[in-house]
Amino acid sequence: MYQWARQLYPLCRSLTGEGTRQTLRYLQNMLPGMQLVEVPSGTRAFDWEVPPEWNIRGGFIADARGRVLVDFADHNLHVVGYSEPVDRWMSREELEGHLYSIASQPDAIPYVTSFYERRWGFCLTHRQRQALGEGPFHVVIDSTLEAGSLTYGELLIEGESRREVLLSTYVCHPSMANNELSGPVVTAALARWLLSERRQLSYRVVFVPETIGSIVYLSRHAEEMRRRTIAGFVVTCVGDERTYSYLPSRRGDTLADRVARHVLKHHAGHFDAYSFLDRGSDERQYGAVGIDLPVALMMRSKFHTYPEYHTSLDDLSVISAKGLEGAYQAHQRAIEVLEHNARWRTTVLCEPQLGRRGLHPTLSTRDGGRRDRRVKAMRNLLAYADGSLDLVGLAEAVELPAWECVPLLQTLEREGLLVRVCEGDGEGSRGREAFGE
C-alpha cells in the first residue's frame, strides 16, 4: 500500500480533471470490475450541481528579473484548487489578496480551494511569503475551467447475499498523504482482498471526489443503498501510526458503529472516540437526514486533529506501511465480523455435557477449567446464546473479540449445540431486513 501511495502522490487531484482520472485509472488497473463513471458538468444532484472540470498545466509567481518565486511545478498545493486562469503583472499589494500562508507553520504550504466561486490564488510557505519582495510580479496560472465531467470509480462485488457493505473513500486531494492518499490505497487493498474469494455479503466500493462526489453518487443510488446496506465505512485518514480514531454515525448505535467500536476496542486497545459533531468527510452525506445510512469511521489520526493536516507537511513521511496495515486490518476484521454476523440459540436445556464431546476436561480441579480460555469461552457462548444477541452482542457479552468467537461458534454449531436464529434480529427494521432475507 505504501508503494501505491508513493506512486499516486505526485498527481494533482481535485474535484474533477485529469489528475483525479489518472488516479482512478491506476486503481482500476488493480481492481477488476471497477467502473469509472463520468458525470457531465452542470448535472444536478440534490441541492448541488456538478461544477466545471478543472485542469491545470502550470502556474508561477515570478519577479521582474524573471526569477520564479513560487512554482506549481514544485508542489501542486501552490495553486489554490479550482483557480481560474491568470497571466498578469501586478504589485505586491494586489497580489497580497491572492496569497495564503500559515504564520504559525512557516514551512507549510496550506491546502486551499474555491470550488464554487471563481477565484485564483497561490499558497506558499510563510517564509516564501516574507521573502517575496515588493514586485512587480508576473503571475501566471495556466488552467482551464470548462464544461467537462466529474469522474468517480465504483466497484460492486456480488456475494451470496444481496445485503451489502459500503466502503467509500475520496480521490480529490492533491499531494497529501494521510489525508488523503491513505484512504484510496487502504480501500483498494481491501477491495483486492474482497475479490480474492466469494463472500457472504455484497460490497459496494466507491472512490469519489469528496462532498460533490458522494452527493452525486447518492443522488443515483441512495434508495437502493438504503434498502441493502447493513453497514458502511468511510475510509479516510488511515495512514499514520499515532492513534486510532472512531467517529460514529449520527444515531451512534448502527451495526457499523457497534462493529467499529468492538473492533477498535480489541484491535487497537485505546482509541479516540469522537462525536458526529466532529464529522468532516463523506459521512456528512451518508449520514444526512433522509439518507441515514449506517456509516461509521475507523481512522488513524483524524482530520483536523494532527499538525500536518491540510498542508504540504502531510507528506509521505507522515504515513507508513505499518500505519496503513493497522487500519487495513481493522477494516478487515470489521468485515469478517459482518460476514459471520448472525444470532445463535443454544439447543439443549441446561448446560450440555461438554466432557463427553471432548470439549471439556473430565477431571475437575480447582484451577484446571479456569485456565482453559477456550473451554470457558464455549461455556459462556452457550450460556448467552439466547437468540437475542448477534455476533457483536455475544462477543461483548462474553468479553472476547468476535473473531475469537467465530471458530468456537462454528464448533458448537457442528456439535449441534447451537443453531442460527434468522427470524427477526433485534436491530430494528434495517436489521430485520438484513437478517430476515
Binding region for a second copy (CB under 8 A): 45-48, 81, 100, 102, 110-117, 119, 211, 214-215, 218-219, 222, 250, 276-277, 279, 284-285, 287-292, 304, 309-311, 345-346, 348-353, 355-356, 362-366, 370, 380, 382-387, 397-399
CB-nearer residue toward a second copy: 62 or 375 = 375
Task: Tell me how far, at minimum, the Cβ of 66 lies from a second copy, in Å.
Answer: 30
Task: Tell me how far, at minimum, the Cβ of 385 lies from a second copy, in Å.
Answer: 6
Residue indicated by cell numbers 502550470: 58
CB-nearer residue toward a second copy: 64 or 348 = 348
CB-nearer residue toward a second copy: 273 or 383 = 383
CB-nearer residue toward a second copy: 6 or 265 = 265
The alpha carbon of 79 is separated from its chain's Cα centroid by a whole number of angstroms, namely 26
Task: Tell me how far, at minimum, the Cβ of 360 lies from a second copy, in Å.
Answer: 9
DSSP state of 254: S
Strands 295-299 and 245-247, sheet pairing: antiparallel
Report the distance separating Cα 170 and Cα 52, nearest Å. 19
Task: Tell me how far, at minimum, the Cβ of 36 lies from a second copy, in Å.
Answer: 22
Q: Which region holds residue 333: left if phi is over 0, alpha if psi is between -120 and 50, else beta?
A: alpha
Query: Is the Cβ–Cβ distance between 142 and 59 less than 8 Å?
Result: yes
DSSP state of 110: B
261: number of Cβ within 10 Å: 20
CB-nearer residue toward a second copy: 119 or 432 = 119
Query: Is the Cβ–Cβ distance between 315 and 236 less than 8 Å?
Result: no
CB-nearer residue toward a second copy: 172 or 334 = 172
CB-nearer residue toward a second copy: 16 or 285 = 285
175: closest CA among 313, 83, 48, 301?
Answer: 313
Query: Is the Cβ–Cβ distance between 255 and 431 less than 8 Å?
Result: yes
Task: Tell me how far, at minimum, the Cβ of 45 lies from a second copy, in Å.
Answer: 8
Task: Tell me how far, at minimum, the Cβ of 223 lies from a second copy, in Å.
Answer: 10
- Assigned C-alpha cell, 419: 443453531
Task: Tell me how far, at minimum, the Cβ of 348 lies from a second copy, in Å.
Answer: 5
CB-nearer residue toward a second copy: 22 or 219 = 219
Strands 99-100 and 35-40, sheet pairing: unpaired
CB-nearer residue toward a second copy: 112 or 165 = 112
Task: Tell me how far, at minimum, the Cβ of 260 lies from a second copy, in Å.
Answer: 19
Report the distance separating Cα 414 and Cα 424, nearest Å. 23
Query: Is the Cβ–Cβ distance between 151 and 189 less than 8 Å?
Result: no
Task: Tell me how far, at minimum, the Cβ of 33 lies from a second copy, in Å.
Answer: 27
Contacts of 93 (CB under 8 A, 6+ apart): none
Report the distance separating Cα 102 and Cα 97, nearest Å. 14
Task: Tell me how far, at minimum, the Cβ of 189 lies from a second copy, in Å.
Answer: 28
SS (H, E, C) 381-402: HHHHCEEEEEHHHHHHHHCCCH
* Single-letter amino acid code for the residue at 272: D
Strands, E assignment, 216-299? 229-234, 245-247, 272-273, 295-299
Task: Tell me how far, at minimum, the Cβ of 285 lies from a second copy, in Å.
Answer: 5
CA dihedral (354, 359, 360, 363) positive or negative: positive
CB-nearer residue toward a second copy: 204 or 331 = 204
CB-nearer residue toward a second copy: 102 or 181 = 102
19: closest CA among 57, 51, 50?
Answer: 57
